[in-house]
Amino acid sequence: MANMKTFTINGTNLSFVDRGGGRPILFVHGFPLDHSMWNGQIERFSARYRVIAPDLRGFGQSGISEGVVEMAQFADDLAALLDFLEIDEPVALCGLSMGGYIAFQFWRRHVERLRGLILCDTRAAKDTPEAAANRLVVAEKVLREGSHIVAETMIPRLFSPVTLQNQPHLAEEIRQIIVHTDPRGIAAAALGMARRADFTAELSGINCPALLVVGQHDAITPVAEMQVMANAIPGAKFEIIPRAGHMAPLERPDAVSAAIADFLQRI
Ligand code: MLT
């Protein structure tokens, strides 16, 4: 997407889209992607809202931090971006998967800046020991062999079978994003996810409006798990997107955007 802007935080350049005007919404992408997974939502919501969609540290056009990037660091980067943009009013934060893990950290660290939380295809639980161990293997492998390794393993699990059949170009778009992502950015975020804290016990304390959205065929963060999360958050709204998988906002942009639009009108 054209018109990306950049700001610098402790020597690292971070790129973002800032479009439209009105109440701010922050769209936070999943792993190992960039802001463009939200293109459908950026287009739609910038007609009525101020849409901010960053490339997280290590992804898209943003600079890289080698080693480990914790979810808290990503959350603090978002707060720094809001400071840079001089946005003082609370924002709606919409995060997908890793973007949701970051949203939980944003809640912990910057709750006063939140108007509402939109959690797409994500989980509150931390990694199982097996999943965390696997992240270390993936991090080493991607640094050794390249980003295509992650594309090969993840893409079949990112989309619903219906999407892979009917919209194969989406899988190719995502593959292109992943193979053009620096392995150091992928490894650092994978190691950060492996270390993330469990947020499950804190769900009942979320006291801002929340919407949870999940693709019916999400193979990574399944409907049943998100239903339990939605039940735990007081007053949360829960929306299942038919025929979509983990990448619901990309697979069925209109359905996901309709759920988000309805939520935003009510908060
Ligand atoms: C994502 O979509 O951000 C990833 O699937 C998250 C994860 O690997 O846990």
CB within 8 Å of 158: residues ≥ 6 apart? 171, 174, 220, 245, 246, 247
On whether the CB atoms of residues 79 and 86 are closer than 8 A, the answer is: no
How are beta strands 12-19 and 4-9 bridged, if at all? antiparallel
On whether the CB atoms of residues 90 and 113 are closer than 8 A, the answer is: yes
Ligand 1 atom at minimal distance to the Cα of residue 127: 9
Quote the CA–CA distance of 105 and 82 in Å, as a whole number.
Answer: 15
Which structural domains are found in the chain, ordered by start? 5-266 (3.40.50.1820)
Ligand 1 atom at minimal distance to the Cα of residue 100: 3
- Quote the pLDDT of residue 10: 87
Quote the CA–CA distance of 140 and 142 in Å, as a whole number.
Answer: 6
Q: Which residue is closest in CA terms to ligand 1's atom 9? A: 98
Q: What tokens appear for 251 in the block?
A: 């697979």
Residues having CB within 6 Å of any atom of ligand 1: 30-31, 97-98, 193, 220
Mean confidence (pLDDT) of the chain:
97
CB within 8 Å of 191: residues ≥ 6 apart? 67, 68, 69, 135, 136, 139
pLDDT tens-digit readout, 77-100: 999 999 999 999 999 999 999 999
Q: How far is the CA of 126 from the centre of ligand 1 (A)?
A: 12
Quote the CA–CA distance of 223 and 212 in Å, as a whole number.
Answer: 10
Average pLDDT of the segment spanning 95-123 = 98
Ligand 1 atom at minimal distance to the Cα of residue 123: 9
Quote the CA–CA distance of 76 and 93 in Å, as a whole number.
Answer: 13
On whether the CB atoms of residues 12 and 62 are closer than 8 A, the answer is: yes
Q: How far apart, in Å, are the Cα atoms of 62 and each of 37, 141, 198?
A: 15, 22, 27
Confidence of residue 2 (pLDDT cuts 50, 70, 90): low
Question: Is the full-model pTM beyond 0.75?
Answer: yes
pLDDT tens-digit readout, 156-182: 999 999 999 999 999 999 999 999 999
Q: How far is the CA of 31 from the centre of ligand 1 (A)?
A: 5
Q: How far apart, in Å, are the Cα atoms of 148 and each of 32, 141, 155, 186, 263?
A: 11, 10, 11, 11, 37
C-alpha angle 113-114-115 in degrees, rounded to nearest 5: 125
pLDDT tens-digit readout, 203-252: 999 999 999 999 999 999 999 999 999 999 999 999 999 999 999 999 99
pLDDT tens-digit readout, 5-54: 999 998 999 999 999 999 999 999 999 999 999 999 999 999 999 999 99
